[in-house]
Amino acid sequence: MSPGSPQPRRPRIVVAGSINMDLVVRMARLPRRGETVIGRETQELPGGKGANQAVAAARLQANVSFIGRVGDDGFGQRLLGGLQHEGIDVSRVIVTAQCASGLAIVAVEDSGENSITVIPGANGRLTPDDVRGATELIHAADVLLLQLEVPLETVLTAIEIAHQHETLVILDPAPAPASFPPNLLSVSVACPNESEAAALAGLPVVSLDDAKRAARQLRAQGVCHAVITLGRAGALVCGPDNECEHIPSFDVQAIDTTAAGDAFAAALGVSLAQGTSTFDAVRYACAAGALAASRQGAQPAMPTADEVARLVPELCR
């Protein structure tokens, strides 16, 4: 870019979803059923799939607005302050009286794998009317990012509003619901991991061929682009022509995979909002997810645009 030339417009991202305080416990390995394992340390770190995605998008140089709820407890104030520190618009985050903020108990083993228990708290009180009150924000957005740690009817309302205004919707369907209405998957992009894809498609996802079958099934259920994240194996993309392409991951040492999927979804949204092709956007998202997995914590692990650019310079010129 030549000196004095205008800067490109920053993508406008709206996130509707969860805000949690993560209580992180680190240990050599996760306990088996009925087993007690001694951990090494605990931390209180800001998290929640929605808030993680919002922080990731902001660090990737998007203008981000958040729709959500926190409780009127000490965690709520800390969580709001953390989002504001990242430059995120929290004017549509409601402080819920006499209610605890969302809480997640995250056990992380030395391999980087994790086990998570979520207590929704105020997230469970995010209503369709809360989302309707932010219609203008969704209307003006390039991308709406959604997850399933808030009530399903609220997510469906957000999808409906986005469709009315032709806003691109990316759904990270986690945690995967036991049952769901067909219109949940009427979105531009769904980006489940292997277990979530298996639950949504009703098919096992163990091999790459399994992932292709599941992705095509998600397409048949209404998804325009099905993107299945495969951990260390990267991601699989299936587009409107039902052709699938495998996007390899990056060689990093996994430390904590807790929020890698959130970094992936946010980076995918930012890249698509910038007009990038779906396959290049997924490669960019794989880079962001890999960087997040190489660090501890959720929001603290979210990479910046410069960090991702060093991993995929060919996509960031």
Q: Which residues are catalytic?
A: 262
In whole angstroms, what is the distance from residue 170 CA to residue 159 CA?
9
List of E strands, 10-120 = 12-16, 20-27, 41-47, 63-71, 89-96, 102-109, 114-119
Mapped onto helix, strand or coil, the DSSP state of residue 294 is coil
Q: How many residues are listed for the chain in this entry?
A: 317
Identify the residue whose tokens are 């926190």: 70
- Residue 26 · residue 108 · CB < 8 Å: yes
264: enclosing H helix or E strand? helix 260-273
- C-alpha to C-alpha distances, 209 to 204, 245, 250, 268, nearest whole angstrom: 10, 11, 21, 23
